[in-house]
Each structure stands twice: as C-alpha cells, then as structure tokens.
Amino acid sequence: MSKAPVTKRGPVKAAAAPFAEIVMVCAKCAKRQGVGAKAVRGGLKRALKADRRGRKVRVVETGCLGLCPKRSLTLATTGSLGAGRLVVIDPSLEPAAMLDALLPARTDRP
C-alpha cells in the first residue's frame, strides 16, 4: 500500500482514507440479539469479498449508536449518517441481503 498524500494546515493534518465507504455495526444491538458484532462484521466482510462492488469498504464495530430497536440491529454508513439516518436491519437476514440494504449498487458505472 502506498503512502497517502498528507495535507498540513496549521496543527491539523489530513490524509486520504484507504477505503471508500465505512459500515458501523452497533455491538450492543448485536449482543442483545444474540448474534454478536464480530459475527455480523465477519459475515458482512465475507459478503463484500464475494460481491465485487468496485469500492473498498471498512466494516467496524462501534459502541451503542443510541437507537436500540427491539429485535433488530442498528448499522450506519457514511451515506446514512450524511442523511441523518441509522439503518435498522432484521438480524435473520443473510449478510448479502444486509449488504444490499446498506450499500445499494452504484448506477454510475457502465
């Protein structure tokens, strides 16, 4: 992996991210549903590897996102947070279906 260019403006530095999208999995919701955040994260990562969407995605566990729905998982993406929304998903969905709900296929490619 090459070094990303770093921009310095006073005491703040900025660098290019090595990923294009981030998916956050609420560990508290996953624990309450008995599936575990690591299992959800792992399933999403495997689905991403099998599904070549043409973008690098980072999947991370977070603490409580504050929504706490009953019988559901709370996830967030950069797109959902930009719209001021969290994504609530049924934990019984397959990881590929979760991925389709979280990151719809891009329409800007030929």
User: What are 26's two structure tokens?
Assistant: 């609420």
Position 94 scores a pLDDT of 95
For the segment 53-102, what is each residue's pLDDT rounded down to a tens digit? 667 899 999 999 999 999 999 999 999 999 999 999 999 999 999 999 99
DSSP at 92 = T
Position 4 scores a pLDDT of 63
Residue 60 near residue 19, CB atoms below 8 Å: no
Q: Do β-strands 6-9 and 73-77 pair in parallel, antiparallel, or remain unpaired?
A: unpaired
Question: In 10 A of CB 6, how many CB atoms?
Answer: 9
3-state secondary structure of 99: helix
Q: What is the DSSP string of 6-42?
A: EEEETTEEEE--S-SEEEEEEHHHHHHTTS-HHHHHH
Residue type at 12 in one-letter notation: V
For the segment 11-55, what is each residue's pLDDT rounded down to a tens digit? 888 899 999 999 999 999 999 999 999 999 999 999 999 887 667
pLDDT score of 6 more than 90: no
